[in-house]
A = this chain, B = another copy of it.
């Protein structure tokens, strides 16, 4: 599978309620040869979340150790908790020729884009803020106060969408998955990634 070609790093962001997690799950079902980066976080696991699969759930002390040790590709604080991307597994997968998907928020994405200008970034946009609010309320995991905080945060994050290379509109998840998959396929077809065909190597 690996012809010496390196994998590509994809960064996906979007506000809570834009349907990003569902979209990413759909993408992973469709794509081979993709590694979905597992983030480290200090927040409590939600019902049904598994350590090492959904997140690496770590203490605040452990997280600060990882920052100090330079073990994170990016990190950010969000609603009182740390979230970060362990660099090691991503770089190993990329060097093996696997594409890597990071599902991170906008502060972290900005750090990755600065460190890795080749990263291909996508911002998942809700059809409207009304749709976003509806999705947040359907979750029924958050208090009213938290929902309002998430909505305010969503508006801030959406203003940062301009720094991304692509914008995916998540009105229907299948259409959004088609768009995100198209971006991943198209990026593989970029001439710079196919020069080995030209030389016959």
Contact = CB atoms under 8 A, between A and B. Distances in A.
A15 to B, nearest CB: 13
**Which among A168, A179, A191 has the highest number of chain B CB atoms within 10 Å?**
A191
A198 B123 CA distance: 11
A105 to B, nearest CB: 17
Stoichiometry, as copies per complex, reads 2
A172 to B, nearest CB: 15
Interface string A147-179: 000000000001101101111110000000011
A101 interface: no
A185 interface: yes
A190 B165 contact: yes
B166 A190 contact: yes
Contacts of A169: 194, 197
Contacts of A194: 125, 167, 169
Dominant SS among interface residues on chain A: helix
Contacts of A189: 122, 166-168, 179, 182-183
A187 interface: yes
A195 interface: yes
A162 B198 contact: yes
A198 B169 CA distance: 11
Contact of A182 (B159, B168, B186): B186
Which 3 pairs across A and B sit closest by C-beta, in order of nearness? Answer: A186-B186, A182-B185, A182-B182
Interface of A: 122-123, 125, 158-159, 161-162, 164-169, 178-179, 181-183, 185-191, 194-195, 197-198
9 contacts: A158-B198, A159-B198, A161-B191, A162-B191, A167-B197, A169-B197, A182-B186, A185-B186, A186-B187
Given A166-B189, A182-B185, 4 more contacts: A168-B189, A178-B185, A182-B189, A186-B187
